Amino acid sequence: MAPSLGATVTGKSLVHQRIVGDKLPTTDATNNTESSQQTEKLNASNNEATHKSTKKQQDEHQQSTLLKRETTSAATTTLKTIHESGSGELVWRNIFLFVVLHSSIPIGIYMMWTQRPYKTMLYALLLTYLSALGVTAGAHRLWSHRSYKARWPVQVLLIILQTLAGQNSVYTWSRDHRVHHKFSETDADPHNIKRGFFFAHMGWLCTRKHPEVLSKGKLIDMSDLEANPYVAFQHKHFWWMAALFTVAVPTAIPCLMWNERFWTSFVLSFMFRYALALHGTWLVNSAAHYYGSRPYDEHIEARESPVVIYTGVGEGFHNYHHAFPSDYSTSEFGKYLNITTAFIDTMASIGLVYGRRKIDAKMILQRRARTGDLQAS
């Protein structure tokens, strides 16, 4: 056994007495007192060391907890930022459908090269332009901007042609377009060109909508379209109407009229034609906000795009359109290369369209002098 603390101290005292000649303690009380004092000092020292060790452990635990909280908070903030930026939230269903749809392009080219189905080719081209009119004259100029008024035969025709285009219902299309104009080039813009050419072209349909698009979309007044019986009917029954007018009828006509092969008609009259029409519309959102001049307003991204004038059946005068969205022709030049304007004017000549809104030439010059190419240097 190890010697006790008291014995060690006492033994040391006896040795010390013999060396220096001091007297031995007269009683054991003195030894006990000294031993007790030293024991108390040692215990106090041990307690102090234990306290310091405990406090150090507590401090380390608090620092570890704080670090975990900060890490969790940073991760939460990062996830929130990713969510709010709309990045990483892909809509795989749409991506899959776009891949399938675009696979029809090489197949369609092969069919056209090997089968020479000229009637079906011309028919598909005609449907492409008719469906484009449903979007430009209907969903865009009539219902989104209310730039003219149409009687019921024209409204029904445009509803059918817009359904042929397969670009969602008039109500949905117009809501998104009104949001685009009101909050252009911000996070609330559904196809914000600031997020890149591809995003504005078709990427916006491959990702979840930015939260700002959803929140700002609720602020848009849609009461006029909700009160329109033709628009409301199409919106309520869009999917069966799309199955009929986007797919079934366009495919059936060549088969019934000139005995076209079913798959040739399906690929060319529906898939190939649908893909081309979509890109014609998408180029308005991308190319017409990326390439071209800005004579009316140099502070916005919308441009006068010669290419989109043709692919968008007159929608390429886009800098003018964003400067004066209420003009029914979306152009300063009336019928100049503007198929949609020509259609509207033709309908007006037979009394089916009225109330066409046009911007005064003086107002156009004033806008160019204030924000466009006529600004004083």
Mean pLDDT, residues 176-203: 96
Percentage with pLDDT > 90 across the chain? 72
Q: Using one digit for the tens of pLDDT, what is the confidence trace for 268-316? A: 999 999 999 999 999 999 999 999 999 999 999 999 998 999 899 999 9
pLDDT (0 to 100) of residue 172: 97
117 φ, ψ (degrees, to nearest 5): -85, 70
Nearest to 96 by CA among 204, 243, 247, 206: 206
Q: Using one digit for the tens of pLDDT, what is the confidence trace for 58-80? A: 666 565 555 445 544 543 443 34
pLDDT (0 to 100) of residue 44: 57
Mean pLDDT, residues 322-343: 88
Percentage with pLDDT > 70 across the chain? 76
Contact predicate 64/187, CB 8 Å: no
Nearest to 6 by CA among 23, 28, 31, 40: 31
Residues 6 or more apart whose CB falls under 8 angstroms from that of 294 comprise: 300, 302, 303, 304, 319, 372, 373
Mean pLDDT, residues 133-162: 98
pTM: 0.77
Average pLDDT, the chain: 84
CA atoms within 13 Å, Cβ hemisphere of 370 = 7
C-alpha distances in Å from residue 271, one per residue of 12, 134, 374: 106, 18, 46
Residues 6 or more apart whose CB falls under 8 angstroms from that of 18 comprise: none
Residue 97 is encoded by which pair of tokens? 């459908």
